[in-house]
Amino acid sequence: MKRGKRYLEAEKLIEKGKLYEAKEALEIIEKFPKTKFDETVELHVKLGVDSKHADQQVRGTVVLPNGTGKTLRVLVFAKGPKADEAKAAGADFVGAEELIPKIEKENWFEYDVIVATPDMMGVVGRLGKVLRTKRINAKP
């Protein structure tokens, strides 16, 4: 099979059969010839755990250095001091019962995430049908 110039250049940087440490592998990848498309790197890790056992489940999160590129608009249903806390935490919209008619009648969906304090769950529960429709009609 005939290989391209970039492939042959990259192949010279790698020793066949050698296992590389993560840091060393990333340094080699950075030396690869650049392409004309967005590249991806795939990582395979052997952890030696048995997923059948609850105490050996692997779960985690990753914080990307530049985020995902999208900022979420947050709507918080809260009253009193909890509403003040939500505003201080950076919520985009904060309110209580006064937001219900706006969402139901005006089809106001200028938010991506809804958070509610426990005392406001009864209020948010009335929005179930409207919010479900929004989720179904949302484009991925």
Q: Collapsing DSSP states into helix, strand and coil, what is residue 86? A: helix
Q: With bands split at pLDDT 50, 70 and 90, how would you rate the model's confidence at 40?
A: confident
CB atoms within 10 A of CB 3: 10
In this structure, are residues 117 and 82 in contact, taking their beta carbons and an 8 Å threshold? yes
Q: What is the pTM of this model?
A: 0.51
In this structure, are residues 99 and 79 in contact, taking their beta carbons and an 8 Å threshold? no
- pLDDT, tens digit, 9 for 90 and up, residues 74-119: 999 999 999 999 999 999 999 998 888 888 888 888 888 889 999 9
Q: With bands split at pLDDT 50, 70 and 90, how would you rate the model's confidence at 70?
A: confident
Q: Mean pLDDT of all residues in the chain?
A: 85
Which strands make up the sheet holding 74-77, listed edge to edge? 93-95, 74-77, 113-116
Which residue segments constitute the domains of the chain, with CATH numbers given? 5-56 (no CATH), 74-137 (3.40.50.790)
Model pLDDT, residue 82: 92
Token couple for 4: 């391209």
User: For the ranges 33-37, 58-62, 70-74, which has the lowest average pLDDT?
Assistant: 58-62
Reply yes or no on whether the pLDDT at 134 is more than 80. Answer: no
Whole-angstrom distance, CA of residue 92 vs CA of residue 134: 19
Model pLDDT, residue 76: 93
Q: With bands split at pLDDT 50, 70 and 90, how would you rate the model's confidence at 136?
A: low
User: Which is more confident, 61 or 76?
Assistant: 76
CA 121 to mean position of chain CA atoms = 25
Q: Give 94's strand partners.
A: 76
Reply yes or no on whether the pLDDT at 139 is more than 70. Answer: no
End-to-end CA distance of the chain: 39
Name the helix (H) or strand (E) containing 113.
strand 113-116
Whole-angstrom distance, CA of residue 124 vs CA of residue 116: 7
Whole-angstrom distance, CA of residue 72 vs CA of residue 38: 25
